[in-house]
Structure 1
Amino acid sequence: MSGRAAALGILVLALLVACATLATAQEPPPLPIAWETGGPPGGTLTGLTHGVIPDRYMLVAATQGGGIFTSDDQGASWTRSAGLTSYFITCITTSPHDARVLYAGVEAREDYIPIELRSKLVKSVDGGLTWFESSAGIKNDAEGRSIPGAIAVSTTDPTVVYLGCSAIFAPRFYKSTDGGATWTPSAAGHDGYSYAVCVSPADGDFVLSASDLGVFRSLDGAASWSFVGFSSSAVGALAILPAAPDVVLAGDASGIRRSTDGGLTWNPFPLPGSPTDRVNCFAFDPGTGNAYAGTDTQGVFVSGDAGASWSRIVGTGEPLREITCLAPVSRAMVAGLLAGTRVLGAYWSDDGGDWAWSSEGLWASHSRAIRILDNGRVLAGVLGLGVAYGPEGLSWTFATGMGPREAALDFCEVPGDPPWVYAGSDSGVLYRSVDQGASWTAIASFPGPITGIEADLQTPGRLYCAVWGDSFYVSEDGGATWAGHAFPNVGFVSVAANPLDGARVVLALHRNGWGLLRSVDAGQNWSVVSDHLPTNLAWDPSDTSYAYCAGGLDWGMWRSADGGATWALLASYPGGGGSSHVAVGREYGYVWGLKNGRGVYLSRTHGDAWLDASGDLVNRTFYALDSREVLPSALGAAGNIMAVLTTDGAGVWSALGITVAVPYGPPPIGSAGGPRLVAWPNPFRSGVELRASEPRAGPLDVRVWDISGRLVRRLSGNTGSVRWDGLDAAGRPVPPGLYFVRPVGGTMSTRVVHLD
């Protein structure tokens, strides 16, 4: 473990006291927390550009949520560009006059950013390594925004730049005559949202713009526009052939359209095999003169006659799908193509038919589920790429066994030797792993996406499975067989089982509205306990009277203090933002709330008071979070809490070494202070290791109490740790439930959960 975590120790007692005094309308105080990412790789590329600068050949990739990445080894590996971490990059281009000059459109989709700062144009003069804003004159305020959609530099004048936008109550086209320093609206006659702009290589005043309403042309440098295209569908790709400026190619949902008179007339070219396949991008190889078209379902098409005819490049496997951008890229003197895709990252091919994944360092993946296992390994469900695993959430390996283009939507772990880990996928297949997520085996299939998988930790073999649009299922044999409980026209969102009484289950669902169902008999019978809008559920394993639901008609946080029977809105939860996610740490009742577009919030008081734990996160389109206590030896002396969260397009982010000074005061307990114990694993079945949270000399003496305050066991060890085997002083197994352990001389107890 690097010293990074050791430098991240956080003492939050004073902040908690301050937080408890806040009025509900106030923003919570910030928690000094640092989030880091190391993947997983992948993601959606919105653009590729390249060029030769004095000391290297540079590739630049724009991503949907992960910012901008550069590569100086032909796309074999990538590095995130400084200053644009985790932004949604809407468009990017390189100046044809100087490859060091790039322009990019940036959009932030977070409510915490003022509306006038969410969209902007940025410029780089060092090949994409650093960026600065270049948006003067572009309308972007509370009355309307111009979101950059396409940009092109004049082929004859490096100071002239054209910008097409998606805008409401704002101009949809701009022009700059000073290299992007200032912009002037230039949209007379131009209608629709502009998705692609290109300039004739022979005439810098000849400009074409593709929009959702067709193609528009300007012959006077965007001073005026005329409609010259077709309006059957949105045009997403537009290009003028470098060697034949009168030939224009347009791509949309019906294939390729070609013009040989500068866009005045068009001839359709439905693609062979699928006449309705969408064309998303074009690229040209200056060496061969070939034109390439990237599609949604059939891979790449090539033309050697200026777009007059096209043929699909056929490989030995399935074609690459959902290609968003293409660039001719050679490696080791071998000509090839680099392709950006939706969700899956970047690929390289030497023939356009067989593709190799080329996304190392491209930390822009879309993750839907996250889980910290008992051994500290982190699992992430990555959209389109299956499951990735690794330590601390900062380095990743992709697991084997899942189907292509699958993603895990939820995980659960059942303690054992070895532990079993389950993953519910978006394809409806339930997987199980016996090697902590490194490989997976399909064990069941359901008719819809598995949005929730949960284990009854008190009943070996019992699992609950929530399936979107179908039913709720129960297994009593570890997932080998399932019994369905039909709920017609219901979309289940989440399931949570009481950690100490797994027959008590709460379901979040959608059926002509939203609500919560509760069962006290393992799903045999149900009662409606709330009709507010949920997105997911979490139970507090340290105090099972508390359960939480994110959602509500105001997208807030709801809490139950009676085991899920009744629910109340938490007035203290920060307002604003979009849909929420809730997670409860498996030690000490950490409650985490995620608000899309707003932030990360942490409560150590059952949700009565909150801290803003967003830190320096820029991408705040969240999906899931998990946290737990890990052994001090894993994180160093600074702290022993790790949190990991998933984002939409910026990978997984981790906060390591979080220390909380005062946990809840379980009986018996005195005043706060002194050493406490770290328990691992927790919950446990056969035994739990108890280790002092701070280094100490001499023996370690520990006392174990049950929830009534009765002394259960005295333990001693000479190595700084002791092991409790779940037996009392007479050698009898203690019943499953909640217990408290405390070192002799200390006044702070640690909660441990013993499973049957």
Structure 2
Amino acid sequence: MPPVLRAHRTRVLPALCGLIGGLLVGGPVASADDHAPVAAAVKAAPYDWKNVRVDGGGFVPGIVFNRSERHLAYARTDIGGAYRWQESSASWTPLLDSVGWDDWGHAGVVSLASDSVDPDRVYAAVGTYTNDWDPGNGAVLRSADRGATWRKADLPFKLGGNMPGRGMGERLAVDPHDNDVLYLGAPSGKGLWRSTDAGATWRQVTNFPNPGDFQQDPGDTSGYNSDKQGIVWVTFDESTGAGDGKTQTLYVGVADKANSVYRSTDGGGTWSRVGGQPTGLLAHKGVLDAENGYLYLAYSDRAGPYDGGKGQVWRYATRTGEWKNISPVAEADTSYGFSGLSVDRQHPGTVMVTGYSSWWPDTQIFRTRDSGANWTSAWSYSAYPTRQNRYTMDISSVPWLSWGAHPAPPEQSPKLGWMTESLEIDPFDSDRMMYGTGATVYGTENLTRWDAPGGTFTIRPMVKGLEETAVNDLAAPESGAPLLSALGDIGGFRHTDLTKVPERMYTSPTFSSTTSLDHAAARPSTVVRSGDADAAPHVAFSTDNGVTWSGGQEPSGVTGGGTVAAAADGSRFVWSPAGAGVHTAAGPGAAWTAAGGIPQGAVVESDRVDPKRFYGFKSGTFYASSDGGSTFTAKASTGLPAEGPVKFQAVPGRTGDIWLAGGKAGGTYGLWHSTNGGASFTRVAGVQEADTIGFGKAAPGASYQALYTSARIGGVRGVFRSTDAGASWVRVNDAGHQWGWTGGAITGDPNVYGRVYVGTNGRGIVQGDTAAR
């Protein structure tokens, strides 16, 4: 299973794993199974789905406004699909929730294009990795109804929505005069591609001279940082179109530090390098002001989105061929690269650009009103370390964006941002601007106050509806908060109201990613979590149901969070951290002692009734402890998966009742049940694959808890529920609600029958409830 690398810092999380596709209802990419009839043995139950609100949580590398229709805008994410702006509710509507398990890579969006001739048309270039982490090729999705439904054109190469350079672009563009013509810049040396039938079929532009050979790290044997960045943006000069003919002049940006800008003046028939261009840097963006005849370019020495140590901004006069360095800061004075480039279409001499890789003390945004002759910045030093800001920030709608931080000047909380590769001024409203960060979309409705002497404009999150967290673990305590989450990049949250954004993430300590959490079944006020962090501690405890936390001691050698479990009464804990063996502790904050009889790296869980019982699993062997985790014994149970990830849980209220899901495609893979503490397991018939298992309130009239799993049952991949201890199953999701990969976490609600919480890898936490139909 491939790692997932993204958001405001590098992290590693588990993730799973021709021609013209069919119509995709309610979203996009579906495999053949997505529209196959559900097997007769598997019934479907109607469900209503919505997100448990976090609002944001991941990197937004692209924002695209339509140039001919007011309020029509799209956002793309690196692993969480695409969204359309809904002006009436000031929120984003997800467009790719129908991406299925087998096509999970198509939830990564490397580029978007909105058609200015026919605003109903929108296109998305999808694919998450160009190396073997993603087994599938990329595709171009096309929609004639603004993303409500899609058709798919498969490509003969991979695309990298979550690869280095994903903030450059846009790689996909529609001809503003002949909107049946589109261009796509490919990575991996695959060159420039063109469609002449509105995205239905694609052919390589074989005479384009440069495929773009820049590699972030040529020595990376994984293929992640060593992939060739390729062709990174396409820009049409709309002033060169006539009548119904296609645009004659277009510019193409190439990831090549010596030859980064190419041009065609005959509608793509021939191509040549633009003479006189700067060298030594990569052109992240190329944005054209056709009215004044200027092509603006934002350069960095690296592909981003995390890095970039030097940068410049240049202006190319399309009518005279003059190149001019208009950098707001001299390259010698930068420690970052430039990106996030936008022209105010109402006042084309007004241009903005971001210092996308300025991490400390903050990102920087620059603005000129005279085509780059003079610049002002979003903030500056009045007297170091005191900052003078042209803006104020109101994060009341997403208060966790403070990160719980109280930094010393010149840092501030909340930050203006980081990884700010996308910034767009609304082409119809000079006062509206949006920009993406590693955690959210920020924006303003009074941008022109920037220009008033002593004036300040207000920045607020503009991210409602855009959910982009990757979920590692979920817990639904019997009392207290209805849901606790363990998330990548932003740690996790205690949700007291599922319809509202939490006040803050877990802090004291703050983990870069929380890898595991558990609560004591009989004492839900006791909670433990473990996670990845730059320094110790990697484990934390709460005695008030996750409201406040304290860090714990840890054994030597710990390098990451691993998995952690709480005894049923909260009296003990067992922890299997990365880098160290399994350990046990007698109470929150107590010293850890090594457990015997269980290997390092085992997954650990607790019995939900007997506080002395803990369980572990690794490489096909199940382990059990009856002395609070001090010693474990390998059980004689056989037939369990020896390869692939495994998740297991003990049933609340039943001692020794355990369900185990996992395995590897092509090997042992499925769902197993034990009623004797793991001494033996029985495989559940009819379940071909299963990746998660969780429990919720029993159905009316039933005595056994409802089961929930992300699985393949009866040949159908989906989210399933059983109310008879696994004897039969109903599918509770549908073709329009698949969310790519859902193998991270699942749990039912102990107090609401039918309610299930599904963890996704980039679309946040989805909540399902039985629908009255």
TM-score w.r.t. structure 2 length?
0.64
- 1:326 corresponds to which residue? 423
Judge conservation of contact 1:465–1:474 (CA < 8 Å) in 2.
yes
| Runs of 5+ consecutive residues of structure 1 not aligned to the other structure | 1-24, 632-639, 660-756
- 2:463 corresponds to which residue? 359
Judge conservation of contact 2:643–2:663 (CA < 8 Å) in 1.
yes
Judge conservation of contact 2:76–2:112 (CA < 8 Å) in 1.
yes
Report whether the alignment pairs 1:222 with 2:268: yes
Report whether the alignment pairs 1:36 with 2:56: no
SS in 1 for 2:738: coil
Cα offsets for 1:583-627 (capped at 9, x unmatched):
344752544332599432445565576544433422131221111
SS in 2 for 1:461: coil
Q: 1:175 aligns with which of 190, 194, 210?
A: 194
Note the C-alpha offset of 1:338. 1.7
One-letter identity of the residue aligned with 1:291: M
- Counterpart CA distance in 2 for 1:308 and 1:471 is 61
- 1:580 corresponds to which residue? 691
**The structure with more radius of gyration:** 1
Judge conservation of contact 2:299–2:337 (CA < 8 Å) in 1.
no
Cα offsets for 1:177-200 (capped at 9, x unmatched):
565576554343352544322223
Report whether the alignment pairs 1:283 with 2:342: yes
- 1:696 corresponds to which residue? none
- 1:536 corresponds to which residue? 647
One-letter identity of the residue aligned with 1:248: L
Cα 1:396–1:552 shift into 2, 3 Å: same
- 1:188 corresponds to which residue? 207
- 1:208 corresponds to which residue? 251
SS in 1 for 2:611: strand
- Counterpart CA distance in 2 for 1:322 and 1:537 is 37
Judge conservation of contact 2:670–2:683 (CA < 8 Å) in 1.
yes
- Counterpart CA distance in 2 for 1:474 and 1:522 is 8
- Counterpart CA distance in 2 for 1:120 and 1:357 is 30
- 2:575 corresponds to which residue? 465
Judge conservation of contact 2:708–2:756 (CA < 8 Å) in 1.
no
Map 1:583-598 to 2 at 5 A: 583-585=694-696, 588-595=704-711, 598=717
Report whether the alignment pairs 1:497 with 2:556: no
- Counterpart CA distance in 1 for 2:678 and 2:235 is 61
Report whether the alignment pairs 1:370 with 2:466: no
Note the C-alpha offset of 1:629. 4.0
User: How many pairs does the alignment contain?
Assistant: 601
SS in 1 for 2:755: strand
Identity percentage of aligned residues: 13
Cα 1:211–1:565 shift into 2, 3 Å: farther
Cα 1:164–1:652 shift into 2, 3 Å: same
Note the C-alpha offset of 1:164. 1.1
SS in 1 for 2:739: coil
- Counterpart CA distance in 2 for 1:147 and 1:27 is 38
Cα offsets for 1:519-550 (capped at 9, x unmatched):
33323234555754433221233544442333
Cα 1:602–1:179 shift into 2, 3 Å: closer
Note the C-alpha offset of 1:326. 1.0
- Counterpart CA distance in 1 for 2:296 and 2:423 is 19
Map 1:474-553 to 2 at 5 A: 474-477=584-587, 479-485=588-594, 492=601, 494-508=603-617, 517-528=623-634, 531-553=642-664
Cα offsets for 1:607-664 (capped at 9, x unmatched):
5765444334221312211114426xxxxxxxx23211121222322222499xxxxx
Q: 1:153 aligns with which of 163, 166, 174?
A: 174
Note the C-alpha offset of 1:320. 0.8
Note the C-alpha offset of 1:118. 7.6
Judge conservation of contact 1:319–1:353 (CA < 8 Å) in 2.
no
Q: 1:198 aligns with which of 203, 216, 235?
A: 235
Cα 1:26–1:32 shift into 2, 3 Å: closer
Report whether the alignment pairs 1:69 with 2:84: yes
One-letter identity of the residue aligned with 2:592: A
One-letter identity of the residue aligned with 1:536: K
Note the C-alpha offset of 1:413. 2.6
Cα 1:144–1:283 shift into 2, 3 Å: closer
Cα 1:613–1:360 shift into 2, 3 Å: closer
Note the C-alpha offset of 1:312. 6.3
Note the C-alpha offset of 1:272. 6.6
One-letter identity of the residue aligned with 1:655: G
Cα 1:464–1:230 shift into 2, 3 Å: farther
One-letter identity of the residue aligned with 2:74: V
Cα 1:69–1:335 shift into 2, 3 Å: same
Cα 1:611–1:336 shift into 2, 3 Å: closer
Judge conservation of contact 2:476–2:749 (CA < 8 Å) in 1.
yes
Judge conservation of contact 1:279–1:294 (CA < 8 Å) in 2.
yes
Cα 1:373–1:116 shift into 2, 3 Å: closer
Note the C-alpha offset of 1:340. 1.4
| Runs of 5+ consecutive residues of structure 2 not aligned to the other structure | 1-37, 100-106, 130-134, 162-169, 213-229, 241-246, 380-388, 390-410, 451-455, 699-703
Note the C-alpha offset of 1:103. 2.5
- Counterpart CA distance in 1 for 2:655 and 2:233 is 55
